[in-house]
């Protein structure tokens, strides 16, 4: 399992983030998964031409897939270029996938990608198990963030 505060997370810079994920979901657990990619896809990801907007994880026949992730075609790709949005297989350990399957079967849980980064030369996705937030939860989070921001401003003014 991968935790956001670990040294592995601090040593990697996200090439793409899913900004709506933490706004729309309560994040319960996260994993770092490898991506099965073609040559032109990894070159585009390294160039930062990737978007997670609207992406989600799905389990098909005991395998984890990432749908809706957009990787722009590689500029020098020629005839061997890839499709922009195609399902991409995620690589995890079998027991982690089994754990995800049981968690997703519960009502209201979803697999949401948080970011894409390069780790030790390989493209990785941080995928999270999230429970959908209600509208009032989203409002409370925004109020809390505003209050924290105001407190920080007032503390800076005092100094």
Q: Does domain 7-133 have CATH number 3.10.180.10?
A: no
Q: Dig out the tokens for 44 from the structure.
A: 């585009």
- More reliable by pLDDT, 140 or 23: 140
Residues 27-55, mean pLDDT to the nearest whole number: 87
Quote the mean pLDDT of the chain. Answer: 83
What residues does each domain of the chain span?
7-133
CB atoms within 10 A of CB 30: 19
Residues 30-52, mean pLDDT to the nearest whole number: 87
pLDDT tens for residues 48-59?
Answer: 888 888 888 888
Asked if residue 2 has pLDDT above 80, the reply is: no
Q: Dig out the tokens for 34 from the structure.
A: 């490898």
Q: How confident is the model at residue 113 (pLDDT cuts 50, 70, 90)?
A: very high
pTM for the whole structure: 0.73
Asked if residue 70 has pLDDT above 50, the reply is: yes
Asked if residue 4 has pLDDT above 70, the reply is: no
Q: What pLDDT is attached to residue 10?
A: 47
Residues 7-23, mean pLDDT to the nearest whole number: 71
Q: How confident is the model at residue 90 (pLDDT cuts 50, 70, 90)?
A: very high
Q: What pLDDT is attached to residue 124?
A: 92
Cβ atoms of residues 55 and 85 within 8 Å: no
Q: What pLDDT is attached to residue 7?
A: 44
Dist. CA 61–CA 63, nearest whole Å = 6
Q: What pLDDT is attached to residue 27?
A: 87
Q: What pLDDT is attached to residue 125?
A: 92
Dist. CA 157–CA 116, nearest whole Å = 37
Query: 64 CB contacts (<8 Å, ≥6 apart)?
Result: 33, 57, 58, 89, 90, 92, 97, 100, 111, 127
Q: In this structure, what is the dihedral angle of CA atoms 36, 42, 44, 48, given to the nearest 10 degrees?
A: 90
């Amino acid at each position: 399992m991968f935790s956001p505060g670990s040294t592995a997370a601090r040593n990697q810079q996200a090439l793409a983030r899913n900004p709506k994920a933490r706004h729309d979901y309560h994040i319960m657990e996260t994993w770092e998964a490898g991506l099965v990619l073609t040559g032109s896809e990894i070159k585009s990801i390294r160039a930062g031409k990737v978007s997670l907007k609207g992406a989600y994880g799905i389990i098909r026949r005991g395998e984890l897939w990432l749908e809706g992730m957009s990787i722009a075609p590689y500029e020098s790709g020629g005839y061997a270029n890839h499709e922009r949005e195609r399902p991409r297989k995620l690589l995890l350990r079998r027991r982690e996938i089994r754990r995800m399957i049981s968690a997703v079967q519960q009502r209201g849980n979803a697999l949401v990608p948080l970011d894409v980064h390069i780790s030790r030369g390989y493209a990785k996705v941080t995928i999270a198990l999230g429970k959908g937030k209600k509208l009032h939860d989203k409002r409370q989070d925004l109020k809390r963030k505003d209050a924290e921001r105001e407190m920080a401003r007032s503390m800076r003014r005092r100094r």
